[in-house]
Amino acid sequence: MKEVTYGNRIPSIKNGTLAVDIGGTNTNFGIFHKKKLLLSLHFKSSEITNFNHIVKRVLKHIKEKYSITCIKAGVAAAGRLHKNNIELTNQKWNVKKKDLPFTKVRLMNDFQAMAYGIDVLSKNKILLVKPGTADKGPRVILGAGTGLGKSILLHNGKGYEPLPSEGGHGNFAPMNEDEFKLVKFLQKRLKREVIEWEDVLSGRGLTNIYLYLNSKKFKKTKHTQKIIASGFHSLAICAGRNTDPQSKEVFKYFTRLYARCARNFTLDVLASGGVYIGGGIAANHYAIFRKLGFAKEFLTAHKMKDFLNKVPVYVIKDYNISLYGAAASVE
């Protein structure tokens, strides 16, 4: 367990809010009071076998160390909400609302939580990458991490309400000869016919694109050997983004596909309220959205370029946005 505190002093409180963000790689807990994040606790999702046991461990820890009691909880997870349970996409364990020891509990998809977090996050944690003029029309949020998450936000007259989505599992459609070759490569590598968007826009998507580009002759560097030694892990590819020629090309490819996916999602719902890009890759590498042709690809449309020109695009720089959103959902 890794612990991070925010601020100089953690107050003793009896009416705190527990926020949880369960991802494919990490499970993060945030302790909030009056919408302020006091501390966070971080676990590897693969090390968890029973969610209730981890919740009890966290509650015991904050009670004994800080005299904090949480009475409400917002739980967000990469998965499908079904009958007051979350069926996790990437784990063998699930979340059951009835088992959680709080007076108020709300369960949600991880990108629903991100959507709730947009309006409570500090403005300096959100980066404008393409200017535009937002109105109260629909917003969309998408983000690559372990997988590819999406959510639609609709204004209800008072604020925005997020809708869950599993759009990351939609079929990836190649647009040119090289991308058709990429699909053929992935069909062979993954041993299935259907290639999904998250097969190219995710951590493993970076690995897939890197391996596809292996057939092209890039100059090898010291970092190339590190990537090979890591088993072509996405974190090693990310670390070589500015120094390794093949990693640079991977990010150009990745950014182009990201922009296309965002453009299509924007047109699906006429998202005049803006596009928000979240997820771990965006939070750690937000510069790619300004430098690698994202805006140019986003505006590549046959008939709707005027509409797309008006839509602002933002990148969320704070990895804790899902915790902020989960906490805000029960306030």
pLDDT at 304: 94
List all residues 6 or more positions away from 61 whose beta carbon is below 8 Å from its beta carbon.
1, 41
CA dist 285 and 279 (Å) reads 10
- CA–CA separation, 110 and 149 (whole Å): 8
pLDDT value for 122: 87
Residue 106 tokens read as 């709300």
Beta-bridge partners for 126: 316
Please determine, for residue 272, whether its predicted confidence score (pLDDT) is greater than 80. yes
Q: How confident is the model at residue 112 (pLDDT cuts 50, 70, 90)?
A: confident
CA atoms within 13 A on the CB side of 35: 10
The total domain count for the chain is 1
Q: DSSP state, 9?
A: -
Q: Is residue 192 part of a domain?
A: no
What residues make up the domain containing 54? Answer: 2-117+321-328
Residue 231 domain-assigned? Answer: no
Say if residue 216's pLDDT is above 80.
Answer: no
Average pLDDT over residues 153-167: 89
Is it the case that residue 163 has pLDDT exceeding 90? Answer: no
d(CA 77, CA 108): 7
Contact present, 329 and 108 (Cβ < 8 Å): yes
| CA atoms of 85 and 22, how far apart (whole Å) | 13
Is the pLDDT at 259 greater than 90? The verdict is yes
Residue 196 domain-assigned?
A: no
Q: Is 79 helix (H, G, I), strand (E, B) or coil?
A: strand
Confidence grade of residue 142 (pLDDT, cut at 50, 70, 90):
very high
- Min mean pLDDT across 87-91, 110-114, 132-136, 180-184 is at 87-91
Q: What is the pLDDT of residues 61-94, one digit of tens each?
A: 999 999 999 999 999 988 888 888 888 877 888 8
Question: Rg of the chain's alpha carbons, rounded to an integer?
Answer: 20
* Residue range 116-136, pLDDT digits in tens: 899 888 888 999 999 999 999
Average pLDDT, the chain: 92
CATH number for the domain harbouring residue 57? 3.30.420.40
Angle at 226 between CA 223 and CA 227, to 5 degrees: 90
The answer to whether residue 331 scores a pLDDT higher than 80 is: yes
61 found inside a domain: yes
- Asked if residue 90 is part of any domain, the answer here is yes
Instruction: Tell me, yes or no, whether 78 lies in a domain.
Output: yes
The answer as to whether 193 is a domain residue is no
**Does position 215 have pLDDT exceeding 80, yes or no?**
no
Specify if 248 maps to a domain: no
